[in-house]
């Protein structure tokens, strides 16, 4: 006879009858009644067990037993009257490395079919010696989210309907996605691109009462993003995303609606639809997309990066599964690449260690650093989304779902149990992510603004490959085995940083062979997808380092890069000291930490890049090919008129009026400046932007710059 789960009351009655008829001795099922009668605690018996039902999980908590080395959690399916309807099973093993506060042990039991009723008992073990079980605590678990009688709430995915026997197919995804789109004013589903095999890449854009109408408007709300499924054979997070989209679309929860009224949630369920359908890690060409987010050889990653450029999420999670049995429930890791701005790294770490570890200890989920119990994973490749996004100034984390139950969840031989635990642990994480974002949006945006100014200033060394260290988290939480140090080796460090890279016509526009047949893209297209500023000069194309994604620029354009795109020519600074008197720029000039005592005039067709400079006198760049001024002090007016290419003004202090007028086809970037005087922008072909990094302007802000 075989059963694990019962939905039919008839079945439990039948079982009760069998039990009565066979008059089993008071073991197993009979013991349930016995424990209820225990009034006196036995020695070392676990006390005060409570259960709180979550979305697809149940949090058990109890009082710590002195001397316990671990705990076992037992679950028994029961009927409403408390009669056991199935076998008791050890479903969990609590170990001290699970949480940061061992004094208040918790365990998130998961894997059961939602909606069924169970009772739980907990017992301590001293070494291998089991102590008496606690008194049982019973509860009915939460059913699949949403009232079956309420339109929208009653939608279910294929995965939910089959109780985890099947994952949600592409066809079911489209129908479910379209249904949510149709039934909820809070949701707009945007097809941001197509896969190689022409599957739509959809994104849920969710806000309350309605999401902002355009990507630009979304960007203004400090949006957050979940990228659910890049590896086709790791589908657990994707199912959580579908459920979360439904929750956000149809919930009445005031706290959630409050959060959605202040931001926009972006959920990208299936960036790799072809791989999901094929059950392959890579896309249809076999390319691992999570080794392609910087190079963007593939249509899927290019689509993703363009979305980041346009929607500008400030925080993100990237969902995976991890085939290491001896690790936490939820390994996480921040962007570690050494070129990631310190504040982005710190804030990402705070999201993980400051928030997820703490909340995990409350709700019973075991979040831990990637690797967690030691593994050679989690390094600094900028091709991995975690790092790419960090280099794009996005606070973010990798999320792994441990593939198998492992020693701490011994009841996951059953595939459905295993799939449910993974998906509901991801759902917990993504909801916590939304809560964290709501609580820390000011800190995240401050870190992002600092990062954009830092990167644009082009200061400090460049690391081609290598990571920031992840410090060990205090024991017992398993920070004692953080990911490898991965410090950059000397040959991967560039101390003398150029101010730009110059590409030839062939390098920039030439046909390439990387990427799928018929879908190859040029360097020009890829840099545009990243949103980088490029100046057309007489003998090629100039990519200034002084821009918000500075840390990523050499990783694609330097000949020394570990996985570069093209070997551009390093353009060294042309002036680093002091220049007395007027400075007239023709051709290309790059001032790095220079002082100019006199007016600066950029001649028509010339390009000026100034990092960390000090200019005493007016600056005039009329008709220039490009004009970049970052981290500088200018005493005098700055006039930028009719520039053909990029205009970048970031993190400057200007005493005098600033005017950016009549720029041609590129949106001027005017961000994080302090202007003592007016800021005027008129006649620009595309209105200037500030990437949500405000300028401090003492005078009036005119016309196209009124909201900057």
Partner 1 sequence: MTDTLAWAARPPARRDRRRATLVGAALTLLVVASGCTGANGGSGTSSGPPVTVSVTGPLCDQLPAGDEPGNPGSLAGQPADQALQWIPVLTTFEAAVRATGLADELTGTPGVTILAPTDDAFAAKFSRTNLDELLLHDTDELRGLLRDHVVTGSLPVAELVDAGSVTTLAGTRLAVTGQEQGARVADRADTVCADYQASNARIHVINQVLGSLPTTAGTEDDHDHTAH
* Structure tokens that stand for 481 in this block: 């085995």
Q: Please, which residue, 213 or 255, has the CB nearer to partner 1?
A: 213
Residues between 671 and 700 with contacts to partner 1, criterion CB under 8 A: none
Per the CB < 8 A criterion, the answer to whether 428 and 108 are in contact is yes
Q: Please, which residue, 237 or 592, has the CB nearer to partner 1?
A: 237
Binding mask 522-561 for partner 1 (x = CB under 8 A): ----------------------------------------
Q: Please, which residue, 70 or 486, has the CB nearer to partner 1?
A: 486
DSSP letter string over 34-61? HHHT--SPPTT--EEEEEEE-SSEEEEE
Q: Does 416 bind partner 1 (CB under 8 A)?
A: yes
Within 10 Å of residue 181's Cβ, how many Cβ atoms?
Answer: 17
Provide the terminal-to-terminal Cα distance of the chain, rounded to the nearest Å. Answer: 70
Residues between 88 and 127 with contacts to partner 1, criterion CB under 8 A: 113
Binding mask 452-471 for partner 1 (x = CB under 8 A): --------------------
Q: Does 142 bind partner 1 (CB under 8 A)?
A: no
Give the range of 122-130, 412-420, 428-436, 567-575 binding partner 1 by CB under 8 A.
412-420
Q: Please, which residue, 190 or 295, has the CB nearer to partner 1?
A: 190
Taking the complex as a whole, how short is the minimal distance between the CB of residue 148 and partner 1, in angstroms? 4
Name which position in 25, 127, 149, 209 contacts partner 1 (CB under 8 A): 149
Give the range of 159-167, 350-358, 504-512, 636-644 binding partner 1 by CB under 8 A.
159-167
Nearest to 296 by CA among 392, 223, 368, 198: 392
Residues between 171 and 230 with contacts to partner 1, criterion CB under 8 A: 171-172, 174-176, 178-179, 181-182, 188-191, 194, 197-200
Q: Does 432 bind partner 1 (CB under 8 A)?
A: no
Residues between 291 and 320 with contacts to partner 1, criterion CB under 8 A: 320
Give the range of 156-164, 337-345, 564-572, 617-625 binding partner 1 by CB under 8 A.
156-164
Q: At what angle do helices 415-457 and 236-250 cross, to 10 degrees?
A: 80
Taking the complex as a whole, how short is the minimal distance between the CB of residue 396 and partner 1, in angstroms? 13
Please, what's the b/e burial string for 92-130 (b: 16 or more CB within 10 A of its CB; e: otherwise)? bbbbebbbbebeebbbbbbbbbbebbbbbbbbbbeeeee
Taking the complex as a whole, how short is the minimal distance between the CB of residue 79 and partner 1, in angstroms? 15
What is the number of residues in the chain? 708
Q: Does 414 bind partner 1 (CB under 8 A)?
A: yes
CA distances from 332 to 320, 359, 395, 400 (A): 10, 14, 13, 6
Q: Please, which residue, 322 or 345, has the CB nearer to partner 1?
A: 322
How far apart are the C-alpha atoms of 360 and 284, rounded to whole Å? Answer: 36
Taking the complex as a whole, how short is the minimal distance between the CB of residue 100 and partner 1, in angstroms? 23
Q: Does 163 bind partner 1 (CB under 8 A)?
A: yes
Cα torsion through 498, 499, 505, 511, rounded to 10: 70
Taking the complex as a whole, how short is the minimal distance between the CB of residue 281 and partner 1, in angstroms? 5
Backbone angles phi, psi at 176, to 5 degrees: -65, -45
Q: How far is CA 332 from the centre of its chain?
A: 10
Binding mask 324-363 for partner 1 (x = CB under 8 A): x--------x------------------------------
Strand (E) or helix (H) holding 615: strand 614-616
* Structure tokens that stand for 59 in this block: 């949090």
Q: Does 577 bind partner 1 (CB under 8 A)?
A: no
Residues between 246 and 285 with contacts to partner 1, criterion CB under 8 A: 277-282, 284-285
* Structure tokens that stand for 505 in this block: 């016509």
* Structure tokens that stand for 182 in this block: 């149709």
What is the Cβ-side half-sphere exposure of residue 692, based on CA atoms within 13 angstroms?
26
Name which position in 141, 184, 290, 695 contacts partner 1 (CB under 8 A): 290
Q: Please, which residue, 144 or 601, has the CB nearer to partner 1?
A: 144
Query: Does residue 600 have a cis peptide bond before it, meaning omega lies within 30 degrees of 0?
Result: no
* Structure tokens that stand for 285 in this block: 């060409």
Residues between 35 and 74 with contacts to partner 1, criterion CB under 8 A: none
Q: Does 562 bind partner 1 (CB under 8 A)?
A: no
How far apart are the C-alpha atoms of 466 and 340, rounded to whole Å? Answer: 11
Residues between 374 and 393 with contacts to partner 1, criterion CB under 8 A: 375-379, 384, 386
Per the CB < 8 A criterion, the answer to whether 369 and 351 are in contact is no
How far apart are the C-alpha atoms of 260 and 335, rounded to whole Å? Answer: 26
Please, what's the b/e burial string for 586-598 (b: 16 or more CB within 10 A of its CB; e: otherwise)? eebbbbbbbbbee
Taking the complex as a whole, how short is the minimal distance between the CB of residue 547 and partner 1, in angstroms? 28
């Amino acid at each position: 006879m075989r059963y694990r789960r019962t939905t039919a009351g008839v079945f439990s009655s039948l079982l009760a009858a069998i039990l009565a008829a066979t008059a089993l001795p008071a073991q197993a099922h009979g013991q349930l009644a016995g424990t209820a009668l225990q009034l006196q605690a036995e020695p070392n018996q676990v006390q005060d067990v409570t259960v709180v039902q979550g979305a697809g999980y149940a949090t058990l908590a109890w009082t710590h037993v002195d001397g316990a080395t671990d705990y076992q959690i037992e679950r028994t399916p029961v009927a409403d009257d408390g009669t056991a309807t199935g076998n008791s099973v050890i479903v969990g093993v609590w170990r001290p490395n699970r949480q940061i506060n061992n004094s208040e042990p918790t365990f998130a039991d998961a894997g059961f079919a939602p909606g069924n009723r169970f009772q739980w008992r907990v017992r301590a073990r001293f070494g291998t010696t089991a102590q008496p079980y606690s008194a049982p605590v019973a509860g009915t678990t939460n059913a699949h989210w949403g009232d079956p009688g309420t339109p929208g709430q009653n939608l279910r995915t294929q995965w939910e309907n089959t109780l985890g026997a099947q994952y949600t197919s592409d066809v079911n995804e489209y129908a479910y996605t379209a249904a949510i789109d149709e039934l909820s004013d809070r949701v707009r589903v945007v097809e941001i691109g197509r896969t190689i095999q022409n599957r739509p890449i959809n994104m849920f854009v969710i806000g309350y009462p309605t999401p902002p109408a355009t990507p630009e408007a979304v960007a203004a709300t400090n949006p957050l993003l979940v990228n659910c499924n890049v590896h086709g054979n790791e589908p657990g997070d994707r199912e959580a995303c579908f459920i979360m989209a439904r929750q956000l679309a149809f919930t009445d929860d005031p706290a959630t609606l409050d959060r959605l009224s202040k931001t926009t949630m972006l959920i990208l369920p299936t960036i790799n639809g072809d791989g999901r359908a094929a059950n392959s890690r890579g896309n249809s060409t076999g390319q691992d997309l999570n080794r392609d987010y910087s190079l963007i050889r593939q249509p899927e990653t290019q689509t993703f990066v363009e979305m980041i450029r346009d929607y500008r999420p400030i925080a993100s999670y990237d969902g995976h599964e991890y085939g290491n049995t001896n690790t936490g429930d939820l390994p996480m890791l921040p962007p570690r690449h050494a070129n990631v701005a310190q504040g982005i790294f710190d804030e990402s770490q705070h999201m993980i260690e400051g928030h997820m570890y703490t909340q995990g200890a409350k709700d019973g989920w075991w979040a831990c650093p990637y690797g967690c119990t030691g593994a050679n994973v989690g390094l600094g490749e900028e091709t991995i989304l975690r790092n790419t996004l960090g280099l794009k100034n996005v606070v973010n984390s990798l999320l792994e779902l441990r593939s198998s139950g492992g020693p701490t969840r011994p009841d996951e031989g059953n595939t459905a149990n295993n799939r449910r635990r993974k998906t509901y642990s991801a759902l917990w994480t993504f909801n916590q992510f939304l809560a964290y974002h709501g609580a820390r949006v000011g800190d995240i945006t401050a870190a992002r603004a600092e990062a954009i100014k830092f990167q644009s200033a082009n200061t400090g060394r460049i690391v081609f490959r290598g990571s920031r260290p992840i410090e060990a988290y205090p024991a017992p939480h398993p920070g004692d085995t953080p990911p490898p140090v991965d410090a950059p080796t000397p040959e991967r460090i560039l101390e003398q940083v150029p101010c730009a890279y110059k590409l030839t016509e062939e390098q920039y526009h030439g046909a390439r062979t990387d990427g799928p047949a018929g879908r190859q893209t040029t360097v020009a297209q890829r840099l545009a997808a990243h949103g980088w500023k490029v100046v057309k000069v007489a003998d090629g194309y100039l990519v200034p380092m002084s821009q918000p994604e500075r840390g990523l620029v050499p990783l694609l354009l330097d000949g020394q890069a570990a996985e570069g795109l093209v070997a551009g020519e390093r353009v060294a600074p042309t002036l680093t000291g002091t220049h007395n008197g007027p400075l007239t720029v023709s051709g290309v000039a790059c001032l790095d930490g220079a002082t100019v005592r006199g007016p600066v005039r950029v001649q028509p067709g010339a390009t000026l890049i100034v990092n960390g400079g000090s200019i005493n006198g007016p600056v005039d760049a009329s008709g220039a090919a490009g004009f970049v001024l970052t981290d500088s002090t200018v005493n005098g007016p700055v006039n930028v008129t009719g520039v053909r290419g990029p205009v970048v003004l970031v993190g400057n202090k200007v005493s005098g009026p600033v005017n950016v007028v009549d720029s041609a086809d590129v949106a001027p970037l005017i961000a994080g400046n302090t202007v003592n005087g007016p800021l005027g922008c008129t006649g620009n072909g595309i209105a200037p932007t500030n990437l949500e990094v405000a300028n401090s302007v003492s005078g009036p802000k005119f016309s196209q710059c009124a909201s900057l």
